[in-house]
Chain A
């Protein structure tokens, strides 16, 4: 494929960004659930 660099960089970037964002939300959700579940305020 010509211009394969650009094409693949673009597609990989899309996947990485979307998955990365999903993981970030998941991580923050877990942290929030922990502090809510413990019934006390996070320090």
Chain B
């Protein structure tokens, strides 16, 4: 890649060069390979090595993907929020935080949607229904909407500085809400569940042995996949912002050229007269 662009943007954020020391193609390929390998091993662990659950049978095997994707969904949001904060704080203001925020947000949408889908597939055989109004599912659904709002807001703002600042504020304000959502829904649902059966979909904290191993491996494999995808997405954002800037430069150059032509034409006119 030959395109480089360093310097400051109008919002004062420093724009980094597109050449990276850590995010080289080779490193990323290795990381991608590790992600694929990790997920493949997870499949083996989760689908055959781990024994079927005593109460839920084989349906419980979805836990090995569902819980890790949920974890990564929440982590991605936390990363977006932290990056937003770092962008807004003058001392650390830098465009790369903004790029990290949007990349992580998009990943968060992917992981959170997966989480909800997997949750539905797990719920149907266990609870008999695709959806249940328990605190975790509802909070995850709200989280998805918060992400979608964040991404929609970004799409509507053309100026990079304004876009970065407003979406950073939106991310932080939304993040503050998540605990309130969780606790209020939890309160609400616990009031409705007095005396009912134990929710079979609940994460059993007493699992051990190969099941625990598979789950922990799941966290690791999904974590690697998240980091890999995040890095790739980040680089893409960099490139697309570079294209944006260049398009702007071209447009400005065209305007200036037009203006000069107009000026030259009017000079000719006055001379003729």
A contacting B, Cβ–Cβ less than 8 Å: yes
Tell whether A41 pairs with B122 under 8 Å between CB atoms, given A21-B110, A29-B236. Answer: no
CB within 8 Å of B: which A3-26 residues = 3-4, 6-7, 9-11, 13-15, 17-18, 21-22, 25-26
Tell whether A11 pairs with B243 under 8 Å between CB atoms, given A2-B59, A3-B59, A6-B62. Answer: no
Q: Is the CB of A33 within 8 A of B121?
A: no
The answer, among A9, A10, A13, A36, for a CB contact under 8 Å with B243, is A36
Q: Taking the nearest CB of chain B, how far is it from the CB of A3, in angstroms?
A: 4
A6 to B113, CA, bound (A): 17
Q: Taking the nearest CB of chain A, how far is it from the CB of B253, in angstroms?
A: 11
Q: Is the CB of A6 within 8 A of B125?
A: yes
1/0 contact string of B242-261 vs chain A (CB within 8 Å): 11001100100000000000
Q: Is the CB of B58 within 8 A of A10?
A: no
| Interface of chain B: mostly helix, strand, loop or mixed | helix
The answer, among B3, B121, B229, B250, for a CB contact under 8 Å with A10, is B121
Q: Is the CB of B118 within 8 A of A33?
A: no
| Interface of chain A: mostly helix, strand, loop or mixed | helix
Could you tell me how many residues of chain A have their Cβ less than 8 Å away from some Cβ of chain B? 27
CB within 8 Å of A: which B103-136 residues = 110, 113-114, 117-118, 121-122, 124-125
B85 within 8 A of A: no
Tell whether A33 pairs with B239 under 8 Å between CB atoms, given A11-B47, A11-B65, A17-B114. Answer: yes
Q: Taking the nearest CB of chain B, how far is it from the CB of A2, in angstroms?
A: 5
Q: Taking the nearest CB of chain B, how far is it from the CB of A36, in angstroms?
A: 5
Tell whether A25 pairs with B62 under 8 Å between CB atoms, given A6-B122, A33-B239, A36-B243. Answer: no
Chain B residues with CB under 8 A of A11: 43, 46-47, 61-62, 65
Binding site for A on B (CB under 8 A): 1-3, 32, 39, 43, 46-47, 52, 57-59, 61-62, 65-66, 69, 110, 113-114, 117-118, 121-122, 124-125, 225, 228-229, 232-233, 235-236, 239-240, 242-243, 246-247, 250
